[in-house]
Structure 1
Amino acid sequence: MRIWALAWPIILSNITVPLLGLVDTAVVGHLPDSRYLAAVTLGATLFGFLYWGFGFLRMGTTGLVAQAVGREAPDEVKLLLGQSLLLALAIGAALMLLGSPLIDLGLWLLDGSDEAQSLAREYAEIRLWSAPAVLANYTLLGWFLGQQNARVTLYLLCLTNGVNIVLDLLFVVGLGMTSAGVALASVIADYSALAFGAWLALRKLRRLEGRIERGRLWAISAYQALFSVNGHLFLRTLGLLFATAFFTAQGARQGDTVLAANAVLLQFIMMTSYALDGFAHAAESLVGRAVGRRDWREFATAVGAAARFSFYTALAAALGFALCGNAIIALLTGLEEVRESAAAYLPWMVAMPLIAVWSYLLDGVFIGTTAVREMRNSIFAGLLVYLPAWWLFQGLGNHGLWLAFTLFMITRSLVLAGYYRHYRQTRWRSA
């Protein structure tokens, strides 16, 4: 099926992302003090805000390009690449200029021990140098995916994360560096991927028909569609990252051991999400093309196929975590107190794939249709449940925190499902 042909390169490439997280966690988790793992957790969460806050550069580009492909408009496909890259580089430069106060604010919000904060600051100051490369790579990934070229996603992410993993081992294990070595490895890997991605994009542009209207690259009015889609996605992503950062901060307030244990368990969620995102990303491209063509039969076929594959994958993940969860924890850290703490909360990891799968899938559908206001609304509805639930259940300690986060994911899925059902009966159907 077309959904599988698109999804398998994305799944393989996405697996390298949690694999990188696993290596980061395992390398630093086997250092003699849990503060190094806590520092990388704080630093990585901070850059989740700084970088994935601009993840709309990938998502918005995919949806708009896919619809342009469906309309057979190569001029728009070329223009969207130029506009998105200019936007990405401008934001990346601004992040570098404003980096120091953003790091101060982020680490203050995330809390953590003094030792972990000091190491996290060192990590963050190094990672900040990769801002333009990271955001430009988001644009390149979205542009190729919108054209159903999933193999480039595989090439770029495998290169980024492969280089990162090798340098992690070289800097930390080989040269004796700590959290700073993990950050430096990420910076080098990001610029390596940008160089390769730019070369691939130039090759593709030469083969595409049409031309870029250079005047529209510099006319603010020509960015209306991009700004409209990306504005809602930006707010949606900030809400999602706030939920994750709030989770990390509340874990940090319970001590470095709980913070480190939650960092280990979040790798389970990352593994699941990147596998499920393979089908969601494939749905973005196929659904976007169907919308561009106004072909609602193709639309329904793409959504149905993505839903089936996503559910089977989520079920396999839940069973795998139930059977092998403790073994995975043992691989990620050699600290006995962290292992024991993570094992106590493992049942939440078994339930999470079957709960979260629907929000991942429907995110893909809504990106492809560029109905991104609804995605934003689902996140804020989730926060309206998440934060009161945390306050109500905080007496349960870390179990209460995991319960609140689970309710957040359930709410997201229900809201998106409600929107989907309504729109399939109205705007997303044949006349």
Structure 2
Amino acid sequence: ILLQWPIFQGGFLISPASPAVEEAANTYMSVRIWSAPAAIALYGINGWLIASERTRAVLALQVWMNGLNIVLDVVFVLGFGWSVAGVAFATFLAEWSGLALGLWLCRDAMQRPFWNDLPRILSRARLFRMAVIHRDILLRSLFIESIFVSFLFFGARFGDVPLAANQILLQFVHLTAHALDGFAIAAETLVGNAMGARDRARLRRGAVLTSAWGAGVMVVFSVAVWAFGPWVIELMTTSEEVRIAARALLPWMIAAPVLGIAAWMLDGIFVGAMRTGDMRNMTAVSAAIYFVSVWILSGHGNDGLWMALLISLVARGVTLGFRYPALERAGG
């Protein structure tokens, strides 16, 4: 929050856009930055709820936040005419209210005096292992963010219309990843339990079963994008230019669920096995492949950019797949 001005200005210097887009982005970020503490705290709350296998609570939290966000968007943008600022304020309020609900959902943990567990909490070995895991996951997240942030920066070079189309279509990618989250979380639990029991057969069964279900859902998702994608794009923008640009890129969205299944499912499997070092390294490799692909495909415009993004997804799945046999061997 304290460094918001240099961060915003640095972003605009790295990836300049039209004055109208920069003004809208600055308005949005100037409001949204104040919900950063809530957004970060929600990662911890969601993680604790998922680890406690309280996935219904996670669902309730997400439904509340997104539902409130939608309602406030309608009120602030369509009702009050606040435009971009209205969208930002809606998300700001939704995230802070989500934090309040999340803390209430975790109230059982807060009722137990933490000092009874201090010796276990402050164990040097536990703290070191947790720090290593956090470091690996942080680096993995930074590599993934470097891909998506640079994707928007590179897309800005093609003009405002392609940039807006990319923003819309990225929602398809994020929605696909979220749709697979349930299977990835199930894989984390099953694989984690199998690793703890040193049961290799059980580990493989959990990994294969969740991946098979996830793959089936992703095929259905691809068909749904093919059937309903143009209609969803119509709902997400009123600009005919943006609609045309987004529809032209829709084939990449149809391919994304199927091409990304291995990366998303193996993420869950490796998290469950606590093989975070492999996740970090393979994500770094896929990020490098992405940037090389962007350079090689730079002559193909926005299509080349989307192709590079999907290549990075495939690369992450393939590289993690190469490390899976070692994970199985470690499991028993």
Distance 1:339 1:210, change over 3 A: closer
Post-superposition offset of 1:223: 2.8
Distance 1:118 1:215 in 2: 52
- 2:72 aligned with 1:167: yes
> AA paired with 1:355?
L
Distance 1:211 1:290 in 2: 31
Partner of 1:321: 225
Partner of 2:37: 132
Identity of aligned residues (%): 34
Contact 1:123/1:179, CA 8 A, preserved across alignment: yes
- Superposed, which structure 2 residues align to 1:160-239 within 5 Å? 160-204=65-109, 206=111, 212-214=116-118, 223-239=127-143
Distance 1:224 1:386, change over 3 A: same
Normalized against structure 1, the TM-score is what? 0.73
1:256 corresponds to which of 148, 160, 180: 160
- 2:304 aligned with 1:400: yes
Distance 1:106 1:396 in 2: 24
Contact 2:194/2:331, CA 8 A, preserved across alignment: no
SS of 1:213's equivalent in the other structure is helix
- 2:179 aligned with 1:275: yes
> AA paired with 1:97?
L
2:255 corresponds to which of 332, 346, 351: 351
- Superposed, which structure 2 residues align to 1:366-385 within 5 Å? 366-385=270-289
SS of 2:330's equivalent in the other structure is coil
Query: What is the RMSD of the two structures over their aligned residues, measured on CA atoms?
Result: 2.1
Partner of 1:294: 198
1:114 corresponds to which of 19, 36, 48: 19
> AA paired with 1:322?
W
What does the per-residue CA deviation read over 1:340-359, in whole Å, with 9 as the maximum and x for residues that have no partner? 11121111111111100110
Distance 1:340 1:350, change over 3 A: same
Structure 1, 103-112 or 268-277: larger mean CA deviation: 103-112
Partner of 2:6: 101
- Superposed, which structure 2 residues align to 1:329-344 within 5 Å? 329-344=233-248
> AA paired with 2:73?
D
Distance 1:223 1:391, change over 3 A: same
Contact 2:273/2:327, CA 8 A, preserved across alignment: no
Aligned length, in residue pairs: 332
SS of 2:297's equivalent in the other structure is helix
What does the per-residue CA deviation read over 1:78-136, in whole Å, with 9 as the maximum and x for residues that have no partner? xxxxxxxxxxxxxxxxxx23333223223333432222112211211111111221111
Distance 2:40 2:64 in 1: 16
> AA paired with 2:206?
A
Distance 2:125 2:194 in 1: 27
Q: Which protein has greater RCO, CA pairs closer than 8 Å, 6+ apart?
A: 1
> AA paired with 1:172?
V
> AA paired with 1:224?
F
Post-superposition offset of 1:209: 11
What does the per-residue CA deviation read over 1:316-375, in whole Å, with 9 as the maximum and x for residues that have no partner? 111122223222222222211111111211111111111001100000011111111111
Distance 1:286 1:137 in 2: 24
Distance 2:113 2:49 in 1: 16
Post-superposition offset of 1:291: 2.3
SS of 2:191's equivalent in the other structure is helix
- Superposed, which structure 2 residues align to 1:81-96 within 5 Å? 96=1
Contact 1:172/1:178, CA 8 A, preserved across alignment: yes
Normalized against structure 2, the TM-score is what? 0.93
Post-superposition offset of 1:299: 2.2
Contact 2:252/2:306, CA 8 A, preserved across alignment: yes
Structure 1, 305-314 or 291-300: larger mean CA deviation: 291-300
Post-superposition offset of 1:302: 1.9
Contact 2:199/2:331, CA 8 A, preserved across alignment: no
Contact 1:110/1:245, CA 8 A, preserved across alignment: no
Structure 1, 105-114 or 194-203: larger mean CA deviation: 105-114
Contact 1:311/1:354, CA 8 A, preserved across alignment: yes
SS of 1:249's equivalent in the other structure is helix
Distance 2:325 2:122 in 1: 40
Partner of 2:324: 420
